[in-house]
Structure 1
Amino acid sequence: MAPIDSTLASKDIAHHLHSQTNLRLHEQIGPLVMERGEGIHVFDTDGNRYIEGMSGLWCATLGFNQPRLAKAAYAQMLKLPYQQTFAHRTTQPVIDLATALIERAPASLSKVLFQSSGSEAIDSAIKLVRYYHTAIGKPEKHKLIARQRSYHGTTLAAASLTGLPNMHKGWGDPLADVIHVRCPHLYRQGLPGESEEGFASRLADELEQTILEAGPETIGAFFAEPVMGTGGVIVPPATYFAKIQAVLRKYDILMVADEVICGFGRTGHYWGSQAMGIEPDMLTCAKGLSAAFQPISALLISDTIYQAIADQSNALGGFGHGYTYGGHPVAAAVALETLALYDELDILTNVAAVAPRFQEGVRALGNHPLIGEARGIGLMAALEFVADKQTREPFPAQLKVAGQVAEALQRRGVLLRALGDTLVMAPPLIINAAQVDVILAAVAESLDEVYAGMQQ
């Protein structure tokens, strides 16, 4: 870590307000200032090298120095650095990117709306749920259902969908139109002896009861990550989405798949929806869309939704929604090149090759005395810490056990993320087997270090 009295660190403490950070603690310890990247590694200003085991924030799927993406950005900047997409205007990169996304998307989706972040994509989806139902004569269907422990972003509306308590503390109440249902986490929410399918059936029944209590005529959409990321890499039980979607169809409720983390190969499938059997009416994506080289997101919608909102826009004289940087030509050019690289590098084949080794190693770590559950899919995984394996009692929050392990890992040159009682892993999709082994070995050593300290 750069020393607090360094020029960069002192400027950062003086002037930069950090997201998702204890601000008073930051004043004491200062920042870790990164300077450059190489493959799956990043280097700080002291020259220390780290494996970026979280792909930044799940997003640097192709690592940190892909020349073709830099060249794509530079070429577009020289040619046309900006153009808006309001009122019939567009650019070739935007047209080509929309086409490429629909070619790769689940079959039900036909149109693309661009934004700059995952939170904006979720906000756009929320607005379109209202716009669509109003267009078909059901304006009362404005309520939204999400899940406990879900993460959908940090804007006011997206954070209201997010089912993580720390995202609401101090910010006032979330929007009243949002209802949260049980998280599909068998380890924490399952009954003794309950099977995956039995658990899924119970959650579907609970969802239906929630809909009936709120009034089916008031529920517009159900938002779900195929695999919960920031909530702790929660992989849903077998048959979960099949049962959930049957309930949604029964009451004419839209299925919105939040693929901001899961999209573009993270789960071992191109889309998490394919991995989990989701048939989305809308799909949001970001992060891996440009491999984090440019800020861009997309909302994909079905033709049924498009036809209704197109008629509505005609009736009203326009579609009153959009962002200044939505469909930015530089971001679109980089995203288009990213999709080409996924194809040319056959990124799904690489994930298929290394994911079994990664998942087997993670599950082996589940035998450690500190770990209650090891879980994951593809190249995303989590270790949940417990004080007692039998009762599954968590450690006292003030111990920050996952945080201690993350700090021990950083000293070993591996960056992973502590989220409450959970240590989360999501390495770049270009990782190889040897690099997977380095991460797993570092985690094992760090677990032993923290456990030994706790025993003392």
Structure 2
Amino acid sequence: MKYEKNTLSQALFNQYDDKKLVAADKAHYMHCFHIFDDHRENGALNIAAGNGAYIYDTHGRRYLDAVGGMWCTNIGLGREEMADAIAEQVRLLAYSNPFCDMANDKAIELSAKLAELAPGDLNHVFLTTGGSTAVDTAYRLVQFYQGCRGKPEKKQVISRKNAYHGSTFLTMSLGGKAADRSPEFDYLQDGIHHLSCPNPYRAPQGMDEAAFLDYLVKEFEDKILEIGADKVAAFFAEPISASGGVIIPPKGYHKRMWEVCQKYDLLYISDEVVTSFGRLGAFFASKEVFDVQPDIITTAKGLTSGYLPLGACIFSERIWDVIAEPGKGRCFAHGFTYSGHPVSAVCALKNIEILQRENLLEHAKQVGGYLEQQLATLKDLPLVGDVRCKKLMACVEFVKDKQSKELFPAEINIGEKIHSKAQERGLLVRPIIHLNVMSPPLTITYQQVDEIVETLREVIVQTAAELKQSGDFGG
């Protein structure tokens, strides 16, 4: 038996007509990043329940979710007190208009709490519906700020290759992942520039980490001078690039890039949609982990631990003082029907309460350190080129040749091969072509870390053997 028996009542799963679900899914449900041919042939893994770090499919089979949903189930699934808080708010006030002169007490309370938790003078909060809309809001705020300053030409922004900032038209244009750039789509080209990905594993040959850092900083400064400092408004960066493959930049990278921003009057936007709310052992990683004080922080995911959709754009007094200057009669003409949703706000407040009461940030540091140590043991395997892990963000990169770092052809889809075998054994890791990424709940135990690493080792060894047999890998 490859799956442990579930801890939920089997009656729950007996109600599902799986054939009917699969047929309806294929006929009607278009998934995020829908892969048409694969879905047509193989369908999807249909999930019915979740409890802690585990999820259950409609057959009642249990999986250790090392992906944490989508980098987001920080406090774990199935919390009764979260369900009660949400239900109580639905009964009291299910919705409130967030526009202009309307507000609700929970959105106000959450905004104050976020200002308290955010570093420095990031005291102002715009609540959104998720990470993409938080980054979209940050971009619009940058444009608005520069316009209010009387600098209408200072509107261009700089991001990075292999970055992921969301999936709206704007945020996908800001991102720099080649795999996400479907040729059938158009992307915003003017006014957005991309620097090299700060991945030490893929640094130019013969360049050590210190030299690579100098190279990256010089590239940034050169790009600003090429465009014209009077035209560049901001720099967007994830503290650790998540979907790009858990890219942990060279030590001192963010501080050096921030110093360049100060030199040329650029706003520094830290996209903490993934890294905030405990994933790196801090509510916000920018200052506490990387010693950088951003002008704007964007957050989502762990803000509610995935229980309800919510995001936030948190920004500084410096920006507020300009845009809210008295007597100007300005309006920040931007918003969403579900901004400041009272039920989502209650969800976030309860989530923060749980994180603090259960000391989950410290737990993430301790167990995350153990995950770093244990995953590093996989480096001895012939398929494993690199293991990148910072607390509860992790990635294993697979290569055809460890010496040259040559990747397997994309059609091998080695990340999917590893993922499929792990799923058969009750473990979920996220495949991204030649990578498997992980972001387990902050509640994960040492025993569950061992289960993740032992299962990965087993399936990587098996995959290597199969690739040797097929002639796709020399070993």
Q: TM-score range by the shorter chain?
A: over 0.9
CA distance in 1: counterparts of 2:467 and 2:331, whole angstroms: 63
Secondary structure in 1 matching 2:380:
coil
CA distance in 1: counterparts of 2:196 and 2:462, whole angstroms: 35
Percent of residue pairs bearing the same amino acid type:
35
Alignment-mate amino acid for residue 342 of structure 1: L
Bigger mean CA offset, 417-426 vs 163-172: 163-172
Name the residue aligned to 1:151: 164
Name the residue aligned to 1:213: 226
Name the residue aligned to 2:72: 59
Secondary structure in 2 matching 1:8:
helix
**Contact 1:142–1:177, Cα closer than 8 Å, also in 2:** yes
**Contact 1:4–1:30, Cα closer than 8 Å, also in 2:** no
CA deviation string 1:275-328 (max 9, x = no partner): 11221000000000000001000000000101111128x524422111110000
Name the residue aligned to 2:274: 261
Alignment-mate amino acid for residue 336 of structure 2: Y
CA distance in 2: counterparts of 1:100 and 1:190, whole angstroms: 44
Name the residue aligned to 2:310: 296
**Displacement after TM superposition at 1:355 (Å):** 1.3
CA distance in 1: counterparts of 2:443 and 2:218, whole angstroms: 40
**Displacement after TM superposition at 1:84 (Å):** 1.6
Name the residue aligned to 1:270: 283
CA distance in 2: counterparts of 1:279 and 1:419, whole angstroms: 31
**Contact 2:280–2:365, Cα closer than 8 Å, also in 1:** no
- Note if 1:203 corresponds to 2:216: yes
Name the residue aligned to 2:366: 353
CA distance in 1: counterparts of 2:377 and 2:248, whole angstroms: 18
Q: Rate the CA distance shift 1:317–1:254 in 2: closer, same or farther, 3 A.
A: closer
CA distance in 2: counterparts of 1:173 and 1:40, whole angstroms: 37
Secondary structure in 1 matching 2:328:
helix
Name the residue aligned to 1:42: 55
**Contact 2:324–2:330, Cα closer than 8 Å, also in 1:** no
Q: How does 1:52-131 map to 2 (within 5 A)?
A: 52-131=65-144
**Displacement after TM superposition at 1:4 (Å):** 11
Alignment-mate amino acid for residue 153 of structure 2: E
Bigger mean CA offset, 394-403 vs 224-233: 394-403
Question: Which residue of the other structure, out of 25, 38, 46, is the alignment partner of 1:33?
Answer: 46
Root-mean-square deviation (CA, aligned residues, Å) is 1.6
CA distance in 1: counterparts of 2:369 and 2:411, whole angstroms: 34
**Contact 1:201–1:243, Cα closer than 8 Å, also in 2:** no
Name the residue aligned to 1:225: 238
Alignment-mate amino acid for residue 398 of structure 2: F
Alignment-mate amino acid for residue 194 of structure 2: H
- Note if 1:392 corresponds to 2:381: no
**Displacement after TM superposition at 1:435 (Å):** 0.8
Alignment-mate amino acid for residue 207 of structure 1: F
- Note if 1:175 corresponds to 2:178: no
Name the residue aligned to 2:293: 279
**Contact 1:284–1:297, Cα closer than 8 Å, also in 2:** yes
CA distance in 1: counterparts of 2:127 and 2:78, whole angstroms: 25
CA distance in 2: counterparts of 1:17 and 1:205, whole angstroms: 43
Unaligned 5+ segments in structure 2 are 4-12, 470-475
Q: How does 1:317-356 map to 2 (within 5 A)?
A: 317-356=330-369
- Note if 1:455 corresponds to 2:468: yes
CA deviation string 1:375-403 (max 9, x = no partner): 11011111111100111100111111111
CA distance in 1: counterparts of 2:141 and 2:73, whole angstroms: 29
CA distance in 1: counterparts of 2:444 and 2:355, whole angstroms: 13
**Displacement after TM superposition at 1:272 (Å):** 2.0
**Displacement after TM superposition at 1:24 (Å):** 2.2
CA distance in 2: counterparts of 1:357 and 1:179, whole angstroms: 38
CA distance in 2: counterparts of 1:50 and 1:63, whole angstroms: 13
Which consecutive aligned stretches of 4+ in structure 1 deviate over 6 angstroms post-superposition?
1-5
The alignment's TM-score, normalised by the length of structure 1, stands at: 0.97
- Note if 1:362 corresponds to 2:367: no
Question: Which residue of the other structure, out of 15, 19, 22, is the alignment partner of 1:6?
Answer: 19
CA distance in 2: counterparts of 1:12 and 1:175, whole angstroms: 35
**Contact 2:123–2:317, Cα closer than 8 Å, also in 1:** yes
Name the residue aligned to 1:430: 443
**Displacement after TM superposition at 1:5 (Å):** 7.3
**Displacement after TM superposition at 1:88 (Å):** 2.0
Secondary structure in 1 matching 2:371:
helix
**Displacement after TM superposition at 1:235 (Å):** 0.4
Q: Rate the CA distance shift 1:186–1:174 in 2: closer, same or farther, 3 A.
A: same
Bigger mean CA offset, 174-183 vs 398-407: 174-183
CA distance in 2: counterparts of 1:308 and 1:208, whole angstroms: 26
**Displacement after TM superposition at 1:166 (Å):** 2.2
Bigger mean CA offset, 96-105 vs 226-235: 96-105
State the number of aligned residues.
Answer: 454
**Displacement after TM superposition at 1:82 (Å):** 0.3
The alignment's TM-score, normalised by the length of structure 2, stands at: 0.93
Name the residue aligned to 2:421: 408
**Contact 1:414–1:442, Cα closer than 8 Å, also in 2:** yes
Secondary structure in 1 matching 2:226:
helix
**Displacement after TM superposition at 1:267 (Å):** 1.4
Bigger mean CA offset, 281-290 vs 2-11: 2-11
**Displacement after TM superposition at 1:213 (Å):** 0.5
Alignment-mate amino acid for residue 277 of structure 2: F
CA distance in 1: counterparts of 2:450 and 2:97, whole angstroms: 46
Name the residue aligned to 1:134: 147
CA distance in 2: counterparts of 1:320 and 1:284, whole angstroms: 19
CA distance in 1: counterparts of 2:462 and 2:109, whole angstroms: 51
**Contact 1:145–1:180, Cα closer than 8 Å, also in 2:** yes
CA deviation string 1:28-84 (max 9, x = no partner): 111211000111000000111001111110001111111111111101000000002
CA distance in 2: counterparts of 1:64 and 1:317, whole angstroms: 43
Alignment-mate amino acid for residue 275 of structure 1: V
- Note if 1:308 corresponds to 2:328: no
**Contact 1:151–1:228, Cα closer than 8 Å, also in 2:** yes
